[in-house]
Chain A
Amino acid sequence: MNTFALVEGEHVLVYSTGYSAHREALLAHLRKIVGQRTVSVAIPRPEWASMCNARAIADEFHKNFDQQFVVHQRLINPPHLLLDFDADSVGASSVLAGCQLRMLSSTTRTLVDPNGERGLDFIVPELRLLPTNWAYDSATKTLFTGDAFCWVWKDEETGPWLVDAPETDPTTLERVAHSLSAGRYWWLEGAATQSIRVAIARLFENYEVRFIAPDHGAVIAGEAVSRHVGYLDEYLRLAARNPSIGIEAGQWKTSKMRASA
C-alpha cells in the first residue's frame, strides 16, 4: 500500500492516505519529511485505500501552522464527517471541522504550496472502476495511477519496491491478467476494450512518464514503464476476445478467490 508525499519549500501534499492498519508506519515516515512544514492531503478516490489516514494526518500535523488544514477530495461530503469513522471515533472530527475543502478538478492544478508552482494535474482515466483520478507530477514525470498498475507484488517484504530492469521485475502477462480479472477489473473479460486501449495509449503519448506510482505494489520506473503499458494493452486486447465472467462471478465463493490469490 503506497502513500506519496510531494514537497515544495515549506509545504507537503500527501497524495492518498492509505489504510488504518498502516497508520503508525505512515505517520512515522511523514514526521521525517514534514518537520515544520505545512501539510495538506489529497484523496484521489473516495475509497478506503485513499482516505483512512486523512484524519490522523490532520490530528498529527495541524498544529504545525496557523493556516487551515486543506483537504482535496472528489466528494462534497464535509470532511469532518466523511473522514472520522474509526471504531473509537465520534463521527465528527473537531480538527477537520475547521479544514478547508477543495474539490479535485482535472482542469486546475492542485498545488503543493498555494503560492508555488509544483502540483498535481488530475486526470480522469478511461480505465477505472469507481470515480477515480490519476494524477501527474510534471516535476518528476510521475503518473499516479490509483487502482491500476497494481500488479507488481513481491514475495519478500524487502522488495525491492521499485522495478525497472527486467531482472528486478517478476511481472508476466499472466500476472497482469490475473490481477485485473480476479479483482476489481473482472468486467474487462469479454468487454469492448478498444476505446480503453486508445485512451491509455493517448495518455502515455501526452505525458512523458518516468515513474508509474500505483496505490498498491511496486513503483514502475524507467524502462519498465513502456513494458508495463505494453502488458496492459496486450491484456486489454486479449480480454476483449474472452467470454464475460460477469454472471457466473456473482455465484463464486470467496474460497475460490482465496485459493487462486
Chain B
Amino acid sequence: MSNSAPALPEMPHNALPREIAPGVFWLGECSPVHYAGKWLHTYNSAFMVVGEKFAAMVETGIPSVGNVVIAQVERILEERGVPLKYIFVTHSEMSHCGSVGRLLRRYPEAHTYGEISDLHLVYPGFEDRIHFCEPGETSDLGGREILTVESVFRDLIHSRWFLDTKERVLFPGDGFAYSHVHDDKECGLFAEEAPKVDIPTQMQRFATLAFHWTGYVDIEPYVQRLDDLFVELGVEVVAPTHGLPIRDAKNSMPIFREGFRGMSDIHATELDIEIYDI
C-alpha cells in the first residue's frame, strides 16, 4: 500500500498579504512540503496590482490556498475601491491557476490572460473569458500598465512573464523558485530580510523536484538572457510565484545567478531515488 501521510506541522500565523511595492500586494500563504526528513515551506503566491481605475491579479495560487487568496482579494478591492479587471497567469498549471474559476465566477467583469492552453478544459463555461496573451501587449490599470513579457525560465513553452510598468516589478512565474525552512521563520519576508535562507541550495532543490529539464541543458544562455532582460525592462523588484520576493533586483542578482547555474547540476541518474520522501 502506498504510504500514509505524515502529520502536517503547525504553520505560523499567515504573514500575507504584504504590500511589496506601492500598490503591489503579495497574496497567499506558505504550504508545507516534506523533503529529506525536513519540513520546508513553499509559496504558490498570487499578487495584486492596483491602478487608479482597475486592479489586476498576477497568478492565483494553488487550489489549497484558494479561500485564503479570495478573502485577501476581496479585502484589498474593498479597501482600494477599484474593480478587478484582469487575472494574469504565467501558465495554466494548477499551482498558478488554482482560483481562476472561482474568481471568474465571483468577478463577472474580469477576464484571464496568459498561457492558458488547457484552462478551458479545467473551467468549462468560461471559454470566452480566458485568453492567450503575447509578449509586448499591455493592459492599462490607470497610472500603470501590465506588460506581457517573454518567459526566460519556464516549464510550459508559451509561459508568460509580466511587468508592472510603474514600480518595475517583474512577475517571473516559475523563475526564482526557492523554499524556506519551516523552523527559520522567514515567511512573508523579502529575500533580503531572510539571511538564513540558502538561496542556491534551495533553488537547486526546487529544480530537482520541479524543473527536471534544467539537468539536461546548458543553463548559461538563460542566465545571460535574464541579465539582459532585467536591464531592458529596468526591473527593480522581483515577485516570483514560488519564492520570497526580491526587493533589490540589481544587488541581489549575483546570488540568484549562482542559483540558476546550480540548477543544471542536478544529476539525472541520481533522480531514480524517491524524490519526494513522503
CA distance A19 to B159 in the complex (A): 20
Partner of B122, one of A46, A48, A105, A193: A48
> Closest approach, in angstroms, between the C-beta of B96 and any C-beta of chain A?
11
A-B contact count (CB 8 A): 188
Chain A contacts with B in 190-225, Cβ cutoff 8 A: 190-193, 195-196, 199
Partner of A252, one of B65, B93, B158, B268: B158
Q: Say if the beta carbon of B209 comes within 8 Å of chain A.
A: yes
- Secondary structure at the A interface, as helix, strand, loop or mixed, is loop
> Closest approach, in angstroms, between the C-beta of B199 and any C-beta of chain A?
21
The stretch of B26-34, B139-147, B162-170 that contacts the partner chain: B26-34
A114 touching B126, Cβ below 8 Å: no
Q: Say if the beta carbon of B272 comes within 8 Å of chain A.
A: yes
Partner of B217, one of A20, A102, A131, A244: A244
Q: Say if the beta carbon of B259 comes within 8 Å of chain A.
A: no
Q: What per-residue 1/0 map shows which CB atoms of B95-135 lie under 8 Å from chain A?
A: 10011011011000000000100101111111000001011
B150 touching A129, Cβ below 8 Å: no
Partner of B216, one of A52, A76, A109, A193: A193
| Complex contacts, A124 vs chain B, CB 8 Å | 271-272, 274-275
Partner of A82, one of B33, B62, B152: B62
The stretch of A58-66, A88-96, A161-169 that contacts the partner chain: A88-96
| Complex contacts, B2 vs chain A, CB 8 Å | 72, 102-105, 108-110, 122
Q: Across the two chains, which residue of chain B brings its CB closest to A88?
A: B105
Q: Size of chain B's interface in residues, with CB distance under 8 A?
A: 67
| Complex contacts, A91 vs chain B, CB 8 Å | 63, 66-67, 70, 102
CA distance A195 to B75 in the complex (A): 51
Partner of B157, one of A22, A110, A184: A184
The stretch of B3-11, B13-21, B237-245, B246-254 that contacts the partner chain: B3-11
Chain A contacts with B in 88-134, Cβ cutoff 8 A: 88-92, 100-111, 114, 122, 124, 126, 128-131
| Complex contacts, A88 vs chain B, CB 8 Å | 102, 105
Q: Using A48-B93, A247-B222 as known contacts, say yes or no to A129 and B216 having CB atoms under 8 A apart.
A: no
A105 touching B92, Cβ below 8 Å: no
| Complex contacts, A85 vs chain B, CB 8 Å | 63, 66, 94, 98-99, 101-102
| Complex contacts, B268 vs chain A, CB 8 Å | 126, 195-196, 199
Q: Say if the beta carbon of A158 comes within 8 Å of chain B.
A: no
Q: Say if the beta carbon of A259 comes within 8 Å of chain B.
A: no
Partner of B1, one of A22, A109, A183, A253: A109
Q: Say if the beta carbon of B233 comes within 8 Å of chain A.
A: no
CA distance A112 to B260 in the complex (A): 42
Interface centre among A46, A83, A190, A250 (most CB of B within 10 A): A250
| Complex contacts, A100 vs chain B, CB 8 Å | 4
CA distance A172 to B265 in the complex (A): 34
B212 touching A110, Cβ below 8 Å: no
Q: Using A76-B6, A87-B105, A187-B217 as known contacts, say yes or no to A82 and B63 having CB atoms under 8 A apart.
A: yes
Interface range, A side: 35 or more
Q: Say if the beta carbon of B156 comes within 8 Å of chain A.
A: yes
Q: Across the two chains, which residue of chain B brings its CB closest to A79?
A: B64
| Complex contacts, B65 vs chain A, CB 8 Å | 81
| Complex contacts, A51 vs chain B, CB 8 Å | 94
> Closest approach, in angstroms, between the C-beta of B238 and any C-beta of chain A?
16
Partner of B276, one of A83, A89, A131: A131
Q: Say if the beta carbon of B210 comes within 8 Å of chain A.
A: yes
A81 touching B64, Cβ below 8 Å: yes
CA distance A251 to B151 in the complex (A): 7
A76 touching B34, Cβ below 8 Å: yes
Q: Say if the beta carbon of A237 comes within 8 Å of chain B.
A: no
| Complex contacts, A131 vs chain B, CB 8 Å | 209-210, 275-276
A-B contact list, 23 entries, CB within 8 Å: A20-B123, A46-B95, A81-B64, A86-B101, A89-B66, A91-B67, A100-B4, A101-B5, A102-B5, A114-B1, A126-B268, A126-B271, A129-B213, A130-B212, A184-B157, A188-B216, A191-B213, A196-B268, A199-B272, A247-B221, A247-B222, A252-B158, A253-B135
Enumerate chain B interface residues (CB-CB to A < 8 A).
1-6, 8, 31-34, 62-67, 70, 92-95, 98-99, 101-102, 104-105, 115, 118, 120-126, 132, 134-135, 150-152, 154-159, 209-210, 212-213, 216-218, 221-222, 225, 268-269, 271-272, 274-276, 278
Q: Given A89-B66, A103-B5, output 19 extra A-B contacts at Cβ < 8 Å.
A: A19-B121, A20-B123, A48-B94, A52-B122, A86-B101, A87-B123, A103-B3, A103-B276, A106-B274, A109-B2, A130-B210, A131-B210, A188-B216, A190-B217, A196-B216, A247-B225, A249-B158, A252-B158, A257-B157
3 tightest Cβ-Cβ pairs between the two chains A and B: A87-B101, A85-B63, A19-B121
